[in-house]
Structure 1
Amino acid sequence: MQFSWQHHGQPCSMKRFLTDHGISMRLIKAVKHGEGHFIVNEKERTGAITINTGDVAGIWLPDEAGDPDVAVSQQPLAVVFEDANWLVVDKPAGLTSVPGPSNATDTLVNRVKGYLVAQRATNLKPHLLTRLDRDTSGLVLVAKNRVAQGMLADGHGIEKTYWAWIEGTLTPTRGTIDQPIGRVADQPRRVVTPNGQRAVTRYRVLATEHGVSRVELQLVTGRTHQIRVHLAAMGHPLIGDALYGGNERRLGRQALHAVALTFTDPLTGKRHSCQAAVPADIARARLAGWPVE
């Protein structure tokens, strides 16, 4: 795969040219160590390279073969958006994002790999740029190659919007939660603690019915379980979130859904906005008045 751009401006080094276009130092070092080529005006170049105005320069990298340790899953994958470099998929609740000891064959990564194999893609190593807890549903951004992955690895340019359903109503009905989050010994549970990492969540209450509020949230930081911890700390854990004190009988999993995802493609400058419908289990619970039993 080759990525190149035309240079306009004063002469500069290849390193400066590539970093200005979002290529990571990790990839530049990989090319220097023989994993690809530097390209100037369709010719391979080595050594000290100067890019002059009008030159078309970039890098060539070999396609990424699939990791043999990552199984191919043929289970369904809901694709919301796709182009040459990106996938946005709608992950169902109950599906783990990445393979692990408890599930190595049917996670989101396994399904994306299966989708790429079926599409006869040349790059078969998906890179998840956003992740969701197993029982959180909604949109996930996937880079289809390591160049794209490196350009958005820091999360800048990605905006994620969540809907959460809680009992009661937050007061005030909109605001910012700025509370540090840390671990509880070796447990999966996190808590608000003065010794934790800074965590910032913006929220607003969208509607309340049957004593249940739908809250829209945006993450300023990205701590583990951040929304779940912040809402629990305010006395309004997510419905179904037993780990943080929510009523599990009302849904059976935390009522959290990544409803919208917007990102700027650093390769084209285009802004892409995607939405995911409310999943069926939450829609059924809402129509039933969020029954306790």
Structure 2
Amino acid sequence: MNKPKKHSGKSTNTAKKPRTSRHGGQSPAQPKLYTVKEPGELLPFLLSTLSNMGRNSVKSLLSRGQVSVNDKAVTVHNFPLEPGHIVAIHRERAVAEAPLLGMAILHEDDDIIVIKKESGLLSIASARPEEHEVTAYRQLMTHVRRTNPHARIFVVHRLDRDTSGVMMFAKSERIQQALQNSWQDAVKERSYIALVDGKVQKPAGTVTSWLKESRTLKMYSGRYPNDGQLAVTHYKVLQSNSAFSLLEVHLETGRKNQIRVHMEDIGHPVSGDKKYGSRTKVIGRLGLHAKVLSFEHPTTGELLRFDTGVPKQFLRPFHTQ
């Protein structure tokens, strides 16, 4: 019989012996605990520590959420370990996946992930990201790597940090390119709900302009035709009073800050949007929500439609008067 491999000394098994009940039966198995002695990454640590298990078996423990570090489930293979960390192996039950912060998955298949993002969550890292900055992209990368350590996701389109609603990511560069190259044809409906300042007089309308970006990174409508990127926004009034209007907005084009610029152009900036002229913050956030995204699936051709509804706080200004 082969002798077990000698341990490298990087951890100490502090697991307790199984306890027995008063009736002689064994209580549920306690997790096996290991104390990290040297800095390193999680997967190599597990392979060294669990030397009686094969590589694929160890990776399965990770993908099933049966490994935790300091009582938090971890599935990322290269998770950094530091001396003093406690690694636990839960053999009989899977640890629940760490909850997604500021987002929820609406749909996932082999090619795409569709999510509902809350206001305040970055879609991807900012130009000067803070360490461990929470983003939808980073969380989804961790999510897909639960089952495949080499999996990746790719950005298809973005939502501003303070805009909530539905957005989509691709699971391969091929799908990303296919969606972006056919975006105008593939997307059948893309609508927003906008809470804007003031009473919009026209029940419906269209705003067309050519958008440019200033040196301060603020978008604005150019003074002359063809001077910038063509942007077309259609809107319809759903509710209004003397102070606010609730609009359904459809994008014919998808330019950066398009709705925010166009609402300022017609004299009704999005509520809470100080950058583009709003002087109100009645709901405590930007009054912009990506309600509907409907598109043809890039592989199957199936028409998918996701409707995230109207946030309740957007209706608040119309219930208080």
CA, structure 1 residues 258+269, in 2 after alignment: closer, same or farther (shift >3 Å)?
same
Structure 1 residue 181 corresponds to structure 2 residue 207: no
**Is the CA contact 1:169–1:205 (under 8 Å) kept in the aligned structure 2?**
no
* Aligned residue number for residue 211 of structure 1: 243
For residue 116 of structure 1, report the CA deviation from its aligned partner: 1.4
**Is the CA contact 2:291–2:307 (under 8 Å) kept in the aligned structure 1?**
yes
Structure 1 residue 199 corresponds to structure 2 residue 227: no
* Percentage of matched positions with identical amino acids: 30
For residue 152 of structure 1, report the CA deviation from its aligned partner: 0.6
Structure 1 residue 165 corresponds to structure 2 residue 195: yes
Structure 1 residue 111 corresponds to structure 2 residue 150: no
Comparing 209-218 with 137-146, which one deviates more in the overlay? 209-218
2:251 is matched by which residue type in structure 1? L
In structure 1, distance between residues paired with 2:315 and 2:282:
12
Q: Which structure 2 residues correspond to residues 92-107 of structure 1 after superposition, within 5 A?
A: 92-100=118-126, 101-103=128-130, 105-107=133-135
For residue 160 of structure 1, report the CA deviation from its aligned partner: 1.4
Structure 1 residue 267 corresponds to structure 2 residue 299: yes
Structure 1 residue 127 corresponds to structure 2 residue 157: no
Q: Which structure 2 residues correspond to residues 1-293 of structure 1 after superposition, within 5 A?
A: 75-76=100-101, 77-100=103-126, 101-103=128-130, 105-118=133-146, 120-121=147-148, 124-154=151-181, 155-156=183-184, 157-158=186-187, 159-184=189-214, 186-193=215-222, 194=224, 195-209=227-241, 211-279=243-311, 281-282=313-314, 287-288=319-320
For residue 171 of structure 1, report the CA deviation from its aligned partner: 3.9
Q: Which gives a bigger RCO, structure 1 or 2 (Cα 8 Å, sep 6+)?
A: 1
Alignment length (residue pairs): 220
TM-score (norm 2): 0.62
2:179 is matched by which residue type in structure 1? L
2:200 is matched by which residue type in structure 1? L
Q: Which has the larger radius of gyration?
A: 2
For residue 279 of structure 1, report the CA deviation from its aligned partner: 3.4
2:235 is matched by which residue type in structure 1? Y
**Is the CA contact 1:264–1:272 (under 8 Å) kept in the aligned structure 2?**
yes
SS class of match (1:125): coil
In structure 2, distance between residues paired with 1:132 and 1:242:
18
For residue 285 of structure 1, report the CA deviation from its aligned partner: 5.5
SS class of match (1:111): helix
**Is the CA contact 2:145–2:152 (under 8 Å) kept in the aligned structure 1?**
no
Q: Structure 1: any 5+ residue segments left out of the alignment?
A: 1-65
